[in-house]
Amino acid sequence: MRAMTDRPVPPPAGSGGAAEQTGVGGAAGARPTEPGGAEPATARGEQTRQLILDTAMRLFRERGYAQTTMRAVAKEAGVAVGNAYYYFSSKEHLIQEFYAETGVEHRARAASVLARETALAPRLRGVLHAGIDTVGPSHEFAAMFFKTAAEPTSPLSPFSAESSPTREASIALFRETLFGSTAKVDPELRDELPELLWLAYLGVVLYWVHDRSPDQAKTRALIDGVVPLIDKLIGLSRLRVLRPVTRDVLGLIRTLRQ
């Protein structure tokens, strides 16, 4: 772990030799289509990519994100540092996979609740709890994830184009939560609501990240307390007296969406 920057010789002229390498030639400047973070084109590539990803995930969980070095990931996976960057353009991009995996597991956990319940409130409550159940084990290291997520320019931001597939899948889950329920929703609200519910879910996760209570009990309390409110609010939105307000809110939301 020492003497990594101590090197009297300016350019060592050749490359080192670790794994068996005996050939000679080859074209020099050949770069893959996407510079960094490319999908592998061969079976071997896919294997290496998965190996690096699994190793990284394991170390992240074992030591935490900040304590896990790219060098450690590479060493543990038995590859060179540069190789990791061939498949993942940055350390943060390794987390993107975690993000996606989390989404898949969230939907799997939510499925049983959605099959069982028909009323909106218990469905929503179940889906939100399923979300916390899913990310639960990764509480400490998820903080890092949300830190970069808060940065607007980051590709990891939940609002970024790069996160679009994961985001859309998550919104679709809330769409099913709503549309599969017996709840009667104002037609004007109907199309916007899934995204709003997803936004509320983001809020819950944001709270969860800051939640230091044992077993994240407070986040559970937040869900249990907020779901009835949302449920009531959705019901109220159909009242004739509140129509103007509903319309105002919807107009504002449409303006704000970027």
- Provide the binding-site residues for a copy of itself, judged by CB under 8 A: 5-8, 10, 143-144, 146-154, 159, 206-207, 209-213, 218, 221-222, 225-226, 228-229, 232, 245, 248-249, 251-252, 255-256, 258
Which C-beta is closer to DNA: that of 7 or that of 254?
7
Question: Least distance (Å) from a copy of itself to the CB of residue 147?
Answer: 4
Among 57, 59, 79, 189, binds DNA (CB under 7 A): 79
| 5 lies in the binding site for DNA (CB under 7 A) | yes
Give dist(CA 11, CA 27) in Å, integer: 21
Give dist(CA 187, CA 57) in Å, integer: 43
> Contact, 156 vs 95, CB < 8 A?
yes
| 187 lies in the binding site for DNA (CB under 7 A) | no
Angle subtended at Cα 60 by Cα 56 and Cα 65, rounded to the nearest 5 degrees = 115
Angle subtended at Cα 127 by Cα 111 and Cα 197, rounded to the nearest 5 degrees = 125
Among 17, 152, 187, 214, binds DNA (CB under 7 A): 17
| 26 lies in the binding site for DNA (CB under 7 A) | yes
Q: What are phi and psi of 211, to 5 degrees?
A: -80, 115
Which C-beta is closer to a copy of itself: that of 36 or that of 251?
251
| 34 lies in the binding site for DNA (CB under 7 A) | no
| 91 lies in the binding site for DNA (CB under 7 A) | yes
Which C-beta is closer to DNA: that of 81 or that of 121?
81
| 86 lies in the binding site for DNA (CB under 7 A) | yes
CA-based max dimension of the chain: 81
| 9 lies in the binding site for DNA (CB under 7 A) | yes
| 57 lies in the binding site for DNA (CB under 7 A) | no
Report CA torsion sign: 145, 151, 154, 160. Answer: positive
Other C-beta atoms within 10 Å of 11: how many? Answer: 6
- Counting Cα atoms < 13 Å in the Cβ hemisphere of 111 gives 7
Which C-beta is closer to DNA: that of 160 or that of 246?
160
Which C-beta is closer to DNA: that of 26 or that of 244?
26
Q: Judging by beta carbons within 10 Å of its beta carbon (0-12, 13-18, 19+), is residue 73 exposed, middle or buried?
A: buried
| 48 lies in the binding site for DNA (CB under 7 A) | yes
Among 76, 85, 160, 195, binds DNA (CB under 7 A): 85
Q: How many residues bind DNA (CB under 7 A)?
A: 55
Which C-beta is closer to a copy of itself: that of 94 or that of 209?
209
Rounded to 10 degrees, what is the CA torsion of 140, 154, 100, 132?
A: 40
Give dist(CA 221, CA 219) in Å, integer: 5
